[in-house]
Chains A and B, each alone.
Chain A
Amino acid sequence: MIEVKGLTKAYGNFLAVKDVSFTAEKGQILGFLGPNGAGKTTTMRIITGFMPATSGQVLVEGLDIFTQSLEARRQIGYLPENPPVYPDMRVDNYLRFVAKLKGVSRNRLEEAIANAVSACGLEDVRYRISGQLSKGYRQRVGLAAAIVHDPPVLILDEPTIGLDPRQIIEIRKLIRGLAKQRTVVLSTHILPEVSQVCDKVVIISDGRVVLEERLDEISPEVSLEDVFLKAIAKEQPSGLVAEAELEEVEAGRSGGQPG
């Protein structure tokens, strides 16, 4: 369970995130949606304790990420935008390192690594050097590192980026499987991904939450695309901007990644 309350983050005079609040519940996959530069990554970095918010509060499993930071961080598995993989390490060694850092006890270490390896389909590359792996495999190594300590909360920043269609399907299946016992927040700008994988959608635009809704509450006649465009158009008065954003979304869907 993640509770985000009134989160604001300022970089100097620039407000990247403005009064963002939402809740993600256990067993639920929350799709975190928004155009590029809307503040998705900043919000996720605050939730994971990488940086503090200027104001507001984040509770992870009831623990405040700022005041009870170490305990709260133990509950989180985090896959940043760029998988944090050491290029000179072997996959097996890397997962062992991460598992130890996350506090997996010594007698559970081998089991935890084996589980993460098989969950992410890394058997073939387990003893290869990470720097020599393709982008898709590195992404999966990052995901394996995020789940190696079996955390109750998963924060995934664009987890399917750079994967081929078959891998995307596998990863989505994996995330769905993981979500049964966990809270998952997944950021993306691929709209079909949200409708296929997520239970709830939070749309953020220009640092503000413009929509928080369960997917089954959105009527089936309206496509998610319309919802998205309507939501971000409210924020931006100029129709032109919304159109530019639409192109980005389209580009995101066809596989190319803008920005």
Chain B
Amino acid sequence: MRNTLTIAGRELQSYFVQPVAYVVLTVFLLLAGWFFFALLRRFELILEMYAALRNQPGLQNFNLNQAVIEPLLHNLAVVLVILVPAITMRTFAEEKRAGTYELLLTSPVKIGEIVAGKYIAASLVVILMVALAGIFPIILVFFGDPEIGVMLAGYLGLIFVGLCFVAVGLFTSSLTSNQIIAAISSFGALLLLYVISWPAETGELQLAGLLRYLALPEHFAQMVKGIISTQDIVYFLSLIAVALFLTQRSAESARWR
């Protein structure tokens, strides 16, 4: 445990010294702000249209949660597909390139502790990103009347998505000593995880059910709607567990090459 925290502490420090964390946070929040602004404008416009048309049922079904927060969270998840690889690409690749991996592997530390430390540090950066993007629902609470529980479930979903992405990113970084290769391959893997259910939409495929289960947006969308089900949590947790297990095996294999 102490070793894990030592490694996590050093990792976290280097995110803020290098300064990867600041750049990623800035880009994420700027984009999030832009999405929020655009969605609010659209919300206002549609509201005016409904009012002008005296469309009472339309007005009743139209709310901030569905029109602003839901699309915002889906957009942010896509931004994470691009930004998380930038956070995780250095975790193992940089150590191998700089030779500091030799220090870690000859220290009395288990590989699992190294993986856990790196995972915790990168996850904290992602959680900080999502938490800071929490400013937007807070604004809505002040000026409108959104459902808070639904928003919290959605943000929890976004954190789970981020944690899954970090685990996958660690794995690809552990495969190589080249940061670009680590970033590109984790970007590819995450995007695939996002679109893997597309062939299933034609409905004729044998594996349609499986593909839909594997696709991350299917589970994320449930949480964004405010439904927290065990099935989705199990999906996220098992994705994290599988990716971290593979990372541990791959980091260990550096010894055998």
Contact surface of A with B, Cβ cutoff 8 Å: 45, 48-52, 70-71, 73-74, 76, 78, 80, 82-89, 93, 97-98, 100-103, 145
Contacts and interface: CB of A to CB of B under 8 A. Distances in A.
B110 A51 contact: no
Interface stretch (B13-21, B161-169, B205-213, B233-241): B13-21
Nearest to B107: A101
Contacts of B106: 48-50, 73, 76, 78
Nearest to B99: A82
Given A84-B98, A86-B100, A50 B105 contact: yes
Interface residues of B, number: 25
B98 A86 contact: yes
A74 B108 contact: yes
A84 B13 CA distance: 17
B3 interface: yes
B10 A97 contact: yes
Question: Taking chain B's interface residues, is the majority helix, strand, or loop, or is none over half, making it mixed?
Answer: helix
B14 A86 contact: yes
A78 B103 CA distance: 8
B55 interface: no
B54 interface: no
Contacts of A48: 106
Contact of A89 (B14, B99, B105, B108): B14
Contact of B109 (A50, A76, A82, A101): A101
Interface of B: 2-3, 6-7, 9-10, 13-14, 17-18, 98-110, 255-256
Nearest to A101: B107
Highest count of chain A CB atoms <10 Å: which of B2, B106, B110? B106
B102 A52 contact: no
B107 A50 contact: no
Contacts of B255: 50-52
B253 to A, nearest CB: 11
Given A97-B10, A101-B6, A88 B108 contact: no
Contact of A84 (B17, B103, B109): B103
A80 B99 contact: yes
A70 to B, nearest CB: 5
A104 to B, nearest CB: 11
A101 B105 CA distance: 11
B61 to A, nearest CB: 53
B256 A84 contact: no
A103 B99 CA distance: 21
A71 B108 contact: yes
A87 to B, nearest CB: 7
